[in-house]
Every structure is written in C-alpha cells, then in structure tokens.
C-alpha cells in the first residue's frame, strides 16, 4: 500500500510475538479463507493475502500502464476494494487472485481513460479547407432537353 510498508502495518499489532504466531497459523489458509478473515477484520489475514497477491497485481498494473506511480495506485485500490467489497467474492466463480485481477483490470482501464492524451479541436483554417459543399439535389434542365 502506498506510503505504508508491511513493517509499518505489522507494527500496528501491540504484541509482535502474537502477530508472528498468527501469521504462522494463517500460512496454511487458502486465499479465499484469508479474504473472508480479512473482511471480518483480521489484520494478519489481510497482511498475508497482501504479501501473496501484491507482486503479481503490481506487475500486471505496471505492464498495462507502463507507469510505476499508476501501478502503485492500482495496486492500492485493488486491496482497498478487496477489504470493502470482499464479500462479493464467490468461490464457485474462480479463485481470489482472478477476482483481484478483475478489479485491477477495471482500475487500470479507469487510469488509462483518465490519463489518455486529449486531442485538441482542429483550427478554423483546417475546418475551412475541409468545408463540405453539398451538390444540389435538382439540376437545372439543360436547354437541349427543354425544347
């Protein structure tokens, strides 16, 4: 998470030994179980899920945006979204990593739309050169046909 290292997050627990024991206990848990515990407020479960998924989410976001800053932003938003909307995850529809990558894809698209280069409107001179001159619908009758 931007501006917040894992060490800082781990330091939030009052007892470092208890934190270590909790992390060891959670090591064997699946990502789905970790997400469920994270949504319920289990900090250690979230940290472990973050450690598992962060490298691949960041790599994907960086590959798609070619920007370290944008990739960090996307990665942060993915994990915030997992905490907020993690209950929407359905195990039957795929694993947690796929769910997280879907969230990342949506955030990458949002960043790309926001940072897309805008093209200015053409100048008046360019528009005059392209001026459309419609053909008349009815031509005047030629003198040969009129006689």
Q: What is the pLDDT of residue 44?
A: 87
Q: Supply φ then ψ for residue 142, to 5 degrees.
A: -75, 150
Tokens for 88, please give them: 């929407």
Distance, in Å, from the CA atom of 111 to the CA atom of 24, rounded to the nearest integer, reads 37
Domain boundaries, the chain: 6-116
Domain made up of 6-116: CATH architecture: Orthogonal Bundle (1.10)
Q: Across the chain, what does the average pLDDT equal?
A: 80
pTM above 0.75, yes or no: no
Distance, in Å, from the CA atom of 56 to the CA atom of 97, rounded to the nearest integer, reads 9
**Looking at beta carbons, which pairs linking 11-18 to residues 24 or more positions away fall under 8 Å?**
12/43, 13/43, 13/44
Average pLDDT over residues 74-85: 94
DSSP state of 137: S
């Amino acid at each position: 998470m931007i501006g917040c290292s894992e060490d800082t997050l781990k330091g939030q627990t009052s007892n470092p030994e208890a934190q270590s024991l909790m992390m060891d206990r959670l090591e064997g848990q699946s990502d789905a179980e970790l997400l469920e515990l994270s949504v319920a407020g289990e900090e250690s479960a979230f940290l472990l899920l973050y450690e598992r998924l962060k490298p691949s989410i960041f790599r994907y976001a960086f590959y798609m945006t070619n920007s370290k800053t944008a990739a960090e932003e996307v990665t942060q938003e993915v994990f915030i979204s997992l905490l907020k909307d993690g209950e929407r995850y359905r195990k039957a529809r795929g694993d947690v990593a796929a769910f997280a990558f879907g969230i990342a894809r949506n955030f990458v698209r949002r960043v790309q739309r926001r940072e897309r280069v805008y093209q200015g409107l053409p100048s008046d001179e360019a528009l005059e050169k392209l001026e459309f001159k419609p053909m008349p619908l009815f031509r005047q009758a030629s003198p040969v046909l009129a006689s």
